[in-house]
Each structure stands twice: as C-alpha cells, then as structure tokens.
Amino acid sequence: MSDSFPLLHLAVALDGAGRHPAAWRAPRARPLELLTARYWSDLVAEAERGLLDFVTIEDSLGLQSASPVEQDRRTDHVRGRLDALLIAARVAPLTRHIGLVPTVVVTHTEPFHIAKAIATLDYVSTGRAGVRVRVSTRPDETAHFGRRPPALVRLDEVSTSAAQRPLVDLFDEAADYVEVIRRLWDSWEDDAEIRDVATGRFVDRAKLHYIDFEGRWFSVKGPSITPRPPQGQPLVSALAHQSVPYRLVGRSADIGYVTPHDTTQAEAVVDEIRAEQVAAGRGAESVLVFADLDVFLDDTAAAAAARKARLDDLAGAEYGSDARVFTGTPAELADLLQEWQSAGLAGFRLRPGTVPHDLEQITRGLVPELQRRGAFRTEYRAETLRGRLGLPRPANRYAVA
C-alpha cells in the first residue's frame, strides 16, 4: 500500500441475522436467539476480536419492511427487534475497545432524552459511544405517536421540488436535533463536579449552563441532568444517499455513511459533503466519510456467489440494496477498499449479508489481509472512539477560556 494513504477505518452494521432477507435461514444463523443479550454480545465480541473501529446497530419505530416507505405484510422475513440503544448499553460492559453506535430515529423522539441516554452510554463504555441519527418518512411509524402528519415523501418523485420540501424539513429538523444534543452534552463543564466531602460541595453550579435553544422544532432550556460525557462529544453519524442528507452530514455529523457504486461516484459524494462543510462554517473540522458496502464473502469467489444465490432462491428474488453489493473473497474486497480509498474515503461500514458467516469473513479474513498489506491496525491504541478515529476531544462551548 502507498505510504500516502492512512490506515483504513472499518465498521460493521449489525441488523438481525444479516442484510439478506433470507439470512435467518442460513445454515449457521441463530434465529431463535435474535432477541437475546447473548446473541448481540457474541456479535460485538467478534467485531472487537477483529479490531474494528465500531459497530452500528440498526433500529426503527415500526416493523421491518421490504418497502422503505410503508409496512409490508411479509411473514418470511425477520420481523421484530430489540431497542438498539439498550443493546449497546448491555454490551458495553462486556467489551473494552470497540465503539458502540446505536441508531436513533430523531423524527419521533426528543433530543433531551437521547442526549442523556447517549451520554450515559459514553460513561458505561468509558468513552466509546456514538449515535447514528435517522429520519423517518414512514406513515406507520408516524401513526404510533399521533403528534404530526405523515411527511408524504414519494421516493419515485424525490427529485421534484414538491417532494423535496418535506424531505428538506425532516433533515433540517434532524440538524436542529443534533445541535440540541451537542449543546446539552456541553451544558456541564468538564470540571463542574467538585465532589469535595470536606466542604460539602458536590457541584459548581456556575459551571452548569442553560442552553436556551429556541428553533422551529425544539425549545429546550437545559442543562442536561448528565454531566459532560467522557469524550466531550460522543460521535454523531448519519446515512446519506443524496444532496439533502449530504447537507446534514456536512452541517452536523462527525461521520457520514454514503453509498457510491464506484470510485467516480465516491469522489463526487466526498466533494459534495466537503462543500456542505464549508458552507456550514465547518471547513476546518474533521468529517469522516465512510462508504457502505453489503458483503457476501467466502474462500473463493465462486463459493461466495453460490451462497448468495442459495439465499436469493430462498427469498424468491435476487438481493438488491441501496449500496453496492460485493460478492467475492476477502482479498478481492481488500483490493476494492484500497481502490476506493483514493477517492477520499476515510473508511468503510461493511454490512454482512449473513451473520455470523460474513462477519467472521470480515474479522478473520479481510482484517488479516489488510494487516498484511499494512493498511489496517494490528492493535487498539486510543482509549476512546474519537481518539481511534483521529477526532479531537472538542472544547466546551460554554467554558470561559
């Protein structure tokens, strides 16, 4: 590998039995254990054995669906899941190094609740917490809460101005949401807690701050009830497929997950996110761009293709995805990752087609291959998730220099 490129960052996206709808029917799947703590702790432990940077844990506020905008009636796919944030909190004490990034649907939750929950996760994990913010356009999820009308976003008309307006509103709301949780994380200065038994002073009240956020969607006074997290600011990430969510990544996130299908697309996406950073006044900050890839891996490319074909037969259709679907060997995937890194990508979030098979192909096949090439770490060093990703611990916006 060329010395001009830094080490790659790798994450995995965990979602039930895997990304493929028939993954739960694969030979080594554990469908009876999907709702157990042991199942999730085993998956995260395997990711940590592979020295991965972090795992993301999928979540939603409605049943899983083959449609991105509405509930389906299928009974042959996994339906039902545990709360991602609670999974992360359960797994945190059982791991030492790997980052834990649960998904939170910000459209129907309150930023004050999520700010203290993620801050708590950062304490429980000793500085390894993050959050993936997600918007919801699904009417069935909206109907669970009864507080707002459905967004009525039609994906087949998303390029039109009429369809863009509700989408822009959803992502602008998400940007305000992130701003609120970031201010709440800063609402306690780092040394606000005194804990002096002799004088009876536990906290310096002058170092707790009202955030007084007033916006179109939120009015939040603060301060948080949870002191500033160990990382100062836990990692904020978001998935982005087009210009509107690219703006959210550029304005608000530490990491953006994107879905290019080749190097040229990856370069264009990175350039657009960098432009959004500059427009938001964040040009000097580090925003990492990770490409998402759905992966089906095996010892030979033919074996990987045959395994995916069997899953497709079980599902009754060829598997498709918003991201590129890669079928091949770990070495071939390593070639692709190094080729795409030249587009300005900091890393990759790999979505295993099935678990545990494809997860183990990543940790026991891909990682050693990248290590042999000098492209991936051989040990964990930094103690926090931000430190491992090369992101500084931010100064508290309310502290007086």
Is 178:115 a contact under the CB 8 Å cutoff? Answer: no
Rounded Cα–Cα distance for residues 363 and 308 (Å):
19
pLDDT of 153 reads: 65
pLDDT in tens, 161-175: 666 788 999 999 999
Is 385:45 a contact under the CB 8 Å cutoff? Answer: no
Domain residues of the chain, as ranges? 9-156+232-307+314-388
**Binding site, annotated residues:** 59, 103
- Mean pLDDT, the chain, integer: 95
pLDDT higher for 66 or 351?
351
**Binding site, annotated residues for FMN:** 59, 103
Rounded Cα–Cα distance for residues 131 and 124 (Å):
14
Strands (E), 244-287: 255-258
pLDDT of 155 reads: 53
Rounded Cα–Cα distance for residues 257 and 59 (Å):
16
Is 260:324 a contact under the CB 8 Å cutoff? Answer: yes
CATH pick for 9-156+232-307+314-388 out of 3.50.7.10, 3.20.20.30, 3.40.50.970, 1.20.272.10: 3.20.20.30
- pLDDT at residue 2 is higher than 90: no
Least confident of 5-9, 184-188, 331-335: 5-9
pLDDT of 148 reads: 85
Which pTM does this prediction carry? 0.95
- pLDDT at residue 180 is higher than 70: yes
Question: Average pLDDT in the 344-362 region?
Answer: 98
Nearest to 290 by CA among 235, 357, 331: 235
pLDDT tier at 149, thresholds 50, 70, 90: confident
- pLDDT at residue 269 is higher than 50: yes
pLDDT in tens, 3-47: 567 999 999 999 999 999 999 999 999 999 999 999 999 999 999
- pLDDT at residue 323 is higher than 80: yes
Rounded Cα–Cα distance for residues 284 and 282 (Å):
5
- pLDDT at residue 1 is higher than 50: no
**Angle CA 103–383–277, to nearest 5:** 55
Angle, helices 263-279 vs 330-341, to 10°: value is 40
Is 348:290 a contact under the CB 8 Å cutoff? Answer: yes
Question: Average pLDDT in the 83-99 region?
Answer: 98
Least confident of 97-111, 135-149, 190-204, 281-295: 135-149
255-258/288-297 β-pairing:
parallel
Question: Residue holding tokens 């291959």?
Answer: 369
Question: Residue holding tokens 């992101």?
Answer: 391
Encoded tokens for 306? 């045959």
pLDDT of 165 reads: 84
The radius of gyration computed from the CA coordinates of the chain, to the nearest angstrom, equals 21
Question: Average pLDDT in the 271-299 region?
Answer: 97
